[in-house]
Structure 1
């Protein structure tokens, strides 16, 4: 007879007692198994059974009488470990006992409720978003849009608490997935490749100091379940959309092979309309109407092997590659007015072809010296990203006459090489933990840009030597860090310090007009620069447990925002004939101090998370618009957007999240984030300071209907916001999804509609001394999709075993 709560011993009380101890670990991950059951059967005394359970570190310590015992270690969904004829005549330490997951047992585990979980740790919140119906067949960007505190706009720009300066990591490291400072690839990778998302608003010293808003770490799937298993997801939708992905895993005693293979094709129609007025130039009003079609086609492969050298150490090698062939077609009609009378009309046709491929290889070595958390890890990662883009632009007058007025072709080749080296050493001392590490990031981006214009007189294309250039940008970062954490009764803390040296280096090769660039950007601008910054970045993270399911957290950290390559490239883009973007080589890094106070409380059916935060950033970036003094061949004033360093930016905010499960068949989730920011500073004698208050909120409900059909609704609202020159109106959008298990729960059929109301648009209102613009832009129209997920050697997991983590894990709750 085994008693799970409280153990009674039946035996000879006069026998001398000894201590039996040991540690229970998961064989694949070497993570401790808390609440594993240790059953002791005295073979010399019939019916004498005793035992105990493991603590948060997987340890057990049991007082037993001398004798000959049969020891049985049990844990839910793991193969029982048995030790026969263990003679106890003295204090005995069994050492590490590794347990293997039982595939057949896993298939029998069906926990109703299917809940997304959040783990609150000293420096992060970890969201498991894999069970969200609305992301079935969707992309990583779509999935991130359902994570609390995170928003993704129509262009794919990711914000954390309303701040776009967020660092995106893949598996804890920079990745070829987000090369060139762009998140385009995240709009193409399948959401079902994600295992979890870590929202790190108060990063510890272990992480790169980049990102004043914080860090989003996207952890991809790497299943360790014994045997062969996986999933295959097939999706089709309208507008034309198809995707097929497979996540497969093969696990043996010696190694684990995991991989994700995907293919996708989509056509996304979009549109835009802008009403522009000018205080000078040939025209006082121009209506700009856009018709957009974006085609995406790509393949991606993520393949890895984990080899278990022994019970304490392992090495992981992985390879990622992404090939894509994209095409964007945009037709822009310009209606030009003089005194509100239509004067002329032109048509601009843009065709952009892009062939891109990214590759990444990574090696990770981990040695767990013991089960206490004493370990050494070492990482090597190399990424290569190349994009070849050809853009053809035709400008035609269609009213009052019909004629070609301009034709140009842009050739761009961008290559990026990035090397990462990291070593991390963790030494536990009692209940405390000391950590020391080094990290080096070395990145080089080369942009080769050539512009050819059609000579209308000769009919031949000629190279524009003034804008053709090669711009090389290097960012080299060396960092040393240390941190110390401890737990005393209900109080936990993690203190860290990071020393970083940043080298930013730029070099221009071009026959450009240096005087023209100096006139636009300033005489003191150095187009070939080499700058070094040395800084200390302290972090403080605290947790106090008010009760078992209630805690308060406090965090402080200092962060840096380094300018990316396109922000410092001085040569103007040509994506629009009247609005150009020009980088600023004089842009300096921005620095921020951030504070966060959080509160979490859990009841049986209700979970509340909340926080208030404050951040002050110096030298903050702002993109401003100004006149260039130039006009198009038709006489339209050309407006320039340029990033600058403002003096300060202060941000205050609060957020609240509520999850309520009133019934087993109903789950409600609501969150809101409100913030205010105040900025000040000037550029070229113009004041660009502003003050703005905004908020965003999301609501999600999940309902089980008759026939075991599940219905999920996600509603989002983003309040209006503004900077010194531009206002963005509020927007509401909603997603719906339905799913049903089929084929004896071996597969899931799901139907979802994203942007049901077709309202996910950007409404923009710009007001300056020289022009105004009132417009809207929709990059992707309403889309529906039907997907089928088939599981190989898996049953649908509707729950997760709850497990306490290391001392820096404050527990796991529902969210």
Structure 2
């Protein structure tokens, strides 16, 4: 395994060196610039192509694509050219015999929609999988072969700066305090990790990674924001896509999206059904100590997980153009999942002399049903002045998650026992948002808005031992959250400098009520969240920036609930209803540079988080067959200082080869002490002062082989990290995928292998003096092979879906300050 790790690291290093070795074009060339817009709406067209050819020669000499503002800049030797400007499903514009002997601006070029082209399948220049901008990265899911037949969790695991551990926990640049949004709104899912495993990857258009959000965004998420944008086709006419998937272990599904658009009305729907098996395993080897640190006994606890999940995901929407400046969009989303999960745990007890004593077998059979329904609406009014607009967004959602489990425990030299658990959860959420954007003059803009987020979660948890209710694990927890927010920000651009200043205020009113014990807790607090962004365009190919923002992380769900599952009776997680939110101050220095074949983005960041959440393990005072029950709980006892450096490279050495690489190194310095009184009434102080460094790196290579077969490889290494009570070891993983277009490019077969070496595991070591030393190795899902078939009708393979501007989570108009 060490050899494999070394090879992966060498490949990542060489790819970075190779990328840096690219040189910028020579300064003797002239520059052709301009802007491409949609003729009717006047909106800029991103990824329109500009091609320069010599007269009477069909071979392209050079070319380029437009940026997010519709602007392009192409360098070429002085001469006479035929210049073509084109975009999929639009009529192209051509400048015949254009003499270019000095820097030339072609002005604003309007392209008109060509409905006839919708019936043709034309493969154009492929949109890059990763778009790098100064304030965010955009991951375009449709071009990634790795996620075919997968879920949102698989998609996030392939995104630069983002990592997903084997348990499904998402972190951004090594920080797990991440706010995950779906179409700019918080997910109504009670368990976000499980929700990400339900939504199929085929339903996703792109994912936006925002590491340092401005005041227009919700302040939640100390580590940043991930916005998952679902497909909502808006192409003219009737078109769609269907996908069938099969895999080993079971990974079967059918999905499709169909769109119909007229001049006044657009209808769109996405439907999908899946059946997945996720077999996994875990082993936990623990040495227990006496108070003098001598060995008491050993327990080896292997666990085999079998999970079967059936899921349905569907939406239906209508977009009405009231007039040419006013639109109203309504969407209904519905998700349903049913899971049958079995955890088979063997607790093998050994004496002090490492002699086998006895075995306890615990079988946890869990049945889960989840329903989520959401209605969303968006009203947008555009005024005469470009960029001047008013929007209202709203959503109402409800989520039911019901889980029942039977835990059967039998001892090899004794009798058996049966525990029953019931966990019924219901969450309702209402979200209201309004934004106003007013351009004040050339290069300046004012924004203001309101956001109200109101949710209620009721968790009814019950445990029965041999049919008798266990009051120690039975309770009804009611969580109510009301957050009202207002924000304003002002941005302007002067020469090459851009400034965006913002201020957000959030008023939080939170109730945490344990109804069975009549323990009521109310937390009220108001917070200001300033933000400031400064950008300087060094040239038309490079920019640098510095930004500051203040963020909050509120504890929710499992973190607060003091009643948890009993899959293990000697290692129990217990939530802490008295947790306070953590506050983060974030500073980010960014630099971006573009060459003809290479884009480099770097970032140096610093975060300070107070009242950071930490997981602490301690003895409960209770024993099972002489073995102490260990409790793990989240606590607010520390301040964390996080410093890191990151770079992302997009490199296309040839037309048939694309490379994306990402490297992140960070240092985490935690300061704090955990002081508590144990079951013997003794005050115990645990030092949580800890200084740890870690890193992760990812390399994605996509090659077009002969016969138009695409081959994609993903390599990733997650570095190890220490904490106050142990460490997590490093891990290497690899994925492979191949695809082939058929039926005149209307269909595509894709084969992918997830976790080629079957080694994606989380390995943790824990040491508590006078209590225990343990090593746990967990594999959530074994290696998986998936084959999928995609069929498109009236839709080009790489067609860019035109979508109206919607709220971007907090958001009014996007003032783009990228270079």
CA deviation vs aligned residue, 1:320-365 (integer Å, no higher than 9, x gap):
1111110110111111111211111111111011011011111110
Kindly tell me: are residues 208 and 511 of structure 1, through their superposed partners in 2, closer, same or farther at Cα, counting changes over 3 Å?
closer
Kindly tell me: are residues 733 and 56 of structure 1, through their superposed partners in 2, closer, same or farther at Cα, counting changes over 3 Å?
closer
Rounded to whole Å, the distance in 1 between the matches of 2:483 and 2:734 is 42
Kindly tell me: are residues 57 and 158 of structure 1, through their superposed partners in 2, closer, same or farther at Cα, counting changes over 3 Å?
closer
Rounded to whole Å, the distance in 1 between the matches of 2:275 and 2:775 is 33
Q: Which of 432, 437, 441 pairs up with 1:421? A: 432
- Give SS of 1:156's match: coil
Q: Which of 377, 381, 393 pairs up with 1:379? A: 393
Rounded to whole Å, the distance in 1 between the matches of 2:760 and 2:571 is 24
Rounded to whole Å, the distance in 2 between the matches of 1:79 and 1:606 is 28
Q: Equivalent residue for 1:705? A: 705
Rounded to whole Å, the distance in 1 between the matches of 2:255 and 2:287 is 48
Alignment pair present for 1:162 and 2:162: no
Q: Equivalent residue for 2:199? A: 189
- Give SS of 2:186's match: coil
Whether the aligned pair in 1 keeps the contact of 2:489 and 2:501 (CA below 8 Å) is yes
> How much has 1:511 moved relative to structure 2?
5.1
Moved more, 421-430 or 720-729: 720-729
Q: Equivalent residue for 2:304? A: 291
Structure with higher Rg: it is: 1
Rounded to whole Å, the distance in 2 between the matches of 1:546 and 1:572 is 55
> How much has 1:794 moved relative to structure 2?
1.3
Q: Equivalent residue for 2:780? A: 779
Q: Which of 251, 257, 265 pairs up with 2:275? A: 265
Where do residues 338-487 of structure 1 align in structure 2 (5 Å cutoff)?
Answer: 338-339=351-352, 340-398=354-412, 401-404=413-416, 406-430=417-441, 431-454=443-466, 461-487=467-493
Rounded to whole Å, the distance in 2 between the matches of 1:6 and 1:541 is 27
Kindly tell me: are residues 208 and 693 of structure 1, through their superposed partners in 2, closer, same or farther at Cα, counting changes over 3 Å?
same
Number of residue pairs the alignment of both structures matches: 724
Alignment pair present for 1:491 and 2:518: no
> How much has 1:286 moved relative to structure 2?
0.3
Rounded to whole Å, the distance in 2 between the matches of 1:425 and 1:681 is 43
Q: Equivalent residue for 2:96? A: none
CA deviation vs aligned residue, 1:584-617 (integer Å, no higher than 9, x gap):
1221111010011111111111111111100000
Whether the aligned pair in 2 keeps the contact of 1:688 and 1:724 (CA below 8 Å) is yes
Whether the aligned pair in 2 keeps the contact of 1:327 and 1:354 (CA below 8 Å) is yes
TM-score, with length taken from structure 1? 0.84
Alignment pair present for 1:139 and 2:151: yes
Moved more, 656-665 or 569-578: 569-578
Alignment pair present for 1:314 and 2:349: no
Where do residues 43-58 of structure 1 align in structure 2 (5 Å cutoff)?
Answer: none
Whether the aligned pair in 2 keeps the contact of 1:304 and 1:316 (CA below 8 Å) is yes
Kindly tell me: are residues 107 and 655 of structure 1, through their superposed partners in 2, closer, same or farther at Cα, counting changes over 3 Å?
farther
Q: Equivalent residue for 1:789? A: 790
Unaligned runs of 5+ in 1: 8-21, 38-53, 60-72, 83-95, 455-460, 513-526
> How much has 1:481 moved relative to structure 2?
0.3
Q: Which of 329, 341, 352 pairs up with 1:328? A: 341
Rounded to whole Å, the distance in 2 between the matches of 1:600 and 1:106 is 39
CA deviation vs aligned residue, 1:196-234 (integer Å, no higher than 9, x gap):
111111111111101100100111111111011111110
Whether the aligned pair in 2 keeps the contact of 1:740 and 1:750 (CA below 8 Å) is yes
Q: Equivalent residue for 2:249? A: 239
Where do residues 247-262 of structure 1 align in structure 2 (5 Å cutoff)?
Answer: 247-262=257-272
Q: Equivalent residue for 1:586? A: 578
Whether the aligned pair in 1 keeps the contact of 2:91 and 2:111 (CA below 8 Å) is no
Rounded to whole Å, the distance in 1 between the matches of 2:766 and 2:788 is 41
CA deviation vs aligned residue, 1:302-330 (integer Å, no higher than 9, x gap):
21111111100101101111111101101
> How much has 1:106 moved relative to structure 2?
8.2
Where do residues 35-74 of structure 1 align in structure 2 (5 Å cutoff)?
Answer: none
> How much has 1:573 moved relative to structure 2?
3.7
Rounded to whole Å, the distance in 1 between the matches of 2:322 and 2:283 is 61
Q: Which of 185, 195, 207 pairs up with 1:173? A: 185
Rounded to whole Å, the distance in 1 between the matches of 2:349 and 2:727 is 24
Moved more, 568-577 or 779-788: 568-577
Moved more, 281-290 or 707-716: 281-290
Rounded to whole Å, the distance in 1 between the matches of 2:271 and 2:633 is 40
Alignment pair present for 1:153 and 2:165: yes
Kindly tell me: are residues 721 and 565 of structure 1, through their superposed partners in 2, closer, same or farther at Cα, counting changes over 3 Å?
same
> How much has 1:125 moved relative to structure 2?
2.7
Whether the aligned pair in 1 keeps the contact of 2:725 and 2:767 (CA below 8 Å) is yes
- Give SS of 2:143's match: coil
Alignment pair present for 1:500 and 2:506: yes
Moved more, 108-117 or 539-548: 108-117
Q: Equivalent residue for 2:759? A: 759
Q: Equivalent residue for 2:98? A: none
CA deviation vs aligned residue, 1:344-399 (integer Å, no higher than 9, x gap):
1111111011011011111110001125100000011011111111010011012x
Kindly tell me: are residues 503 and 800 of structure 1, through their superposed partners in 2, closer, same or farther at Cα, counting changes over 3 Å?
closer
Rounded to whole Å, the distance in 2 between the matches of 1:6 and 1:611 is 29
Rounded to whole Å, the distance in 2 between the matches of 1:181 and 1:338 is 39
Where do residues 610-759 of structure 1 align in structure 2 (5 Å cutoff)?
Answer: 610-632=602-624, 634-683=625-674, 684=676, 685-759=685-759
Whether the aligned pair in 1 keeps the contact of 2:712 and 2:737 (CA below 8 Å) is yes
CA deviation vs aligned residue, 1:621-644 (integer Å, no higher than 9, x gap):
101100001012x22210001110
- Give SS of 2:185's match: coil
Alignment pair present for 1:120 and 2:121: no
Whether the aligned pair in 2 keeps the contact of 1:283 and 1:636 (CA below 8 Å) is no
Rounded to whole Å, the distance in 2 between the matches of 1:477 and 1:412 is 27
Unaligned runs of 5+ in 2: 1-30, 50-65, 72-83, 94-108, 677-684, 806-811
Q: Equivalent residue for 1:48? A: none
Q: Equivalent residue for 1:300? A: 313
Rounded to whole Å, the distance in 1 between the matches of 2:367 and 2:118 is 51
Q: CA RMSD in A?
A: 2.9
Whether the aligned pair in 1 keeps the contact of 2:426 and 2:457 (CA below 8 Å) is yes
Whether the aligned pair in 2 keeps the contact of 1:77 and 1:103 (CA below 8 Å) is no
Kindly tell me: are residues 796 and 572 of structure 1, through their superposed partners in 2, closer, same or farther at Cα, counting changes over 3 Å?
closer
Q: Equivalent residue for 1:91? A: none
Whether the aligned pair in 1 keeps the contact of 2:119 and 2:794 (CA below 8 Å) is no
Rounded to whole Å, the distance in 2 between the matches of 1:277 and 1:639 is 13
Q: Equivalent residue for 2:123? A: 110
> How much has 1:100 moved relative to structure 2?
3.9
Kindly tell me: are residues 181 and 535 of structure 1, through their superposed partners in 2, closer, same or farther at Cα, counting changes over 3 Å?
farther
Q: Equivalent residue for 1:808? A: 815
CA deviation vs aligned residue, 1:472-506 (integer Å, no higher than 9, x gap):
01111000100111111211121110001111111
Rounded to whole Å, the distance in 2 between the matches of 1:149 and 1:656 is 9
